[in-house]
Amino acid sequence: MIEIRVKTSKRVEALNISELVEKATGGKQGSLLHVYTPHTTCGLTINEDADPNVMRDILDALERAVPANYPYRHSEGNSDAHIKATLTGSSVTVPCLQGKPAFGTWQGIFLMEFDGPRERKVIITLI
Amino acid sequence: MIEIRVKTSKRVEALNISELVEKATGGKQGSLLHVYTPHTTCGLTINEDADPNVMRDILDALERAVPANYPYRHSEGNSDAHIKATLTGSSVTVPCLQGKPAFGTWQGIFLMEFDGPRERKVIITLI
Amino acid sequence: MIEIRVKTSKRVEALNISELVEKATGGKQGSLLHVYTPHTTCGLTINEDADPNVMRDILDALERAVPANYPYRHSEGNSDAHIKATLTGSSVTVPCLQGKPAFGTWQGIFLMEFDGPRERKVIITLI
C-alpha cells in the first residue's frame, strides 16, 4: 500500500496521474493494480490521455448533467462534486504484467477533481 | 467470501453498510476489500457518511437524469433502477491495512437501492 | 492474464460477454475475477441478461444524457463515446467460487460499445 499526494489547481480538473502511479509501482510484482482516492468530492477514471479536449468534454458533460449551481440540500456548496464523484467512482483497477499496468494505447488514469483546488491522497495497491 | 443480507425500506434509498462490512471482515488479513451486490436494480457507492443530505442530493440527481416515470421498453416498471445500477456500479473496492478498510475521514459504503423495498445480498471478499 | 477479442457490429451496442469470460476462466482457481477493457470509447458493466430491452433502455438513457450529436471540443466525432465510457467504467470485478463467477440470477457482463463497429480487447485476470 503506497500513498501519494497530488495538488490540483482549479475547482474542476482532470489531472493525469498515470506517470506518478507507474513510478510508485515500478519494479514491484503483482497482477492487478488498484488505485483509490479516500475523498468524497473527487473521483478516478481511465480515459484518453492524448487530446486534452477529451477530458474537457467529459468534465463539461458532467457539469451539464449535474450543475454546480442548483438548490441542493447539502449546504456546503459542493453537492455537485459529491454526485460527480459517485458517477466516476473512487477507484480504478488495471491488470499488470511484471509490475507494469497493461494500459491500452490511449489510456491514462485521471484524478477527477470536482471541488478543488486541494491536495488529494491517492492510495496504490499492487496485488 | 462472506455473504451478508440487508433490508431496504423504500423504493429508493442509500443504506450505509460500512459497519456491517467492517464487522464481517474484522480481524481477517488482506490488502484489498471487495464488496459486491449480485442484483441488477441496486448498486454500491462510496461517498460521504456524515451529512445524510449528500446521499439525498445524489439520489435526486440520479432521478433527474433518469426519471422513474418514462416510456422505457422494459415492461417491469423498473428500467430506471437498472440504469441507475449501471451508473453507480455493482462493486466497490477499498485498500485494507491489517483487515481494516482505509476509508477516508468522510467515506462510507452505501447500498444504493433503486427498486425496493427488498432484502439484498452483499458479497464481501478480502484478498 | 487472459486476453480475448470480441467484434461489435454497430456504433452503439451492449454485447453480452459472460459466456466468453466464464469459458476463459473455467477450471482456474481464484477468488476474484477482474475484467478490463484497454479502450477509451467502450466500457464494461454488469446488468440484466434476460430481457434485452433492459440494455436498450440503458443505452437510450446514456444517449439522452450524452447525445452523440453535440458541439464537443474533441474533433474526432466520438466524444460522446469517451464520456459514456467514463460513466460505465473500464472494468468490472466479480467474486468467484472455485473459478466460477458468483453472478446473481439475472446478471451478465456486457461490453458497452459506444464507437463501433470494431474489434475490442478484453483482459481477464483471476486472483
Residue B43 sits in a domain whose CATH number is 2.60.120.460
Tell me the per-residue pLDDT of A30-78, one tens digit each, with 9 for 90 and over. Answer: 999 999 999 999 999 999 999 999 999 999 999 999 999 999 999 999 9
Q: Tell whether the model's pLDDT for residue C97 goes beyond 80.
A: yes
The answer to whether C30 touches C99, Cβ cutoff 8 Å, is: yes
From the list B93, B97, B104, the residue facing A40 with the nearest CB is B104
> How many domains would you assign to chain B?
1
Looking at every residue in chain C, the average pLDDT score rounds to: 96
pLDDT at C27: 76
Distance CA A93, CA C50 (A): 28
Question: Which residues 6+ apart lie within 8 Å of B5 measured at CB?
Answer: B119, B120, B121, B122
pLDDT band at B103 (very low <50, low <70, confident <90, very high): very high
Q: Tell whether the model's pLDDT for residue A81 goes beyond 90.
A: yes
Q: Which residues of B touch C54 (CB under 8 A)?
A: 40, 74, 79, 82
Q: Tell whether the model's pLDDT for residue C98 goes beyond 80.
A: no
Which CA distances in Å does C123 have to A78, A92, C4, C16?
36, 15, 6, 15
Distance CA B33, CA B103 (A): 11
Residue A67: give the domain boundaries.
Answer: 2-126
pLDDT at B78: 98
pLDDT at A29: 86
Task: Please give the radius of gyration of chain C, using alpha carbons only, rounded to the nearest integer.
Answer: 15
CB contact under 8 A, B53 and A73: yes
Cα dihedral sign for B115, A90, B94, C4? positive
What is this structure's pTM?
Answer: 0.98
Which CA distances in Å does B49 have to A36, B18, B24, B36?
18, 9, 19, 19
pLDDT band at B97 (very low <50, low <70, confident <90, very high): confident
pLDDT at A99: 75
Q: Tell whether the model's pLDDT for residue A98 goes beyond 90.
A: no
Q: Which amino acid is at A74?
A: H
pLDDT at B27: 76
From the list B34, B89, B125, the residue facing C89 with the nearest CB is B89
Asked if the C-beta of A42 comes within 8 angstroms of chain C's C-beta atoms, the answer is no
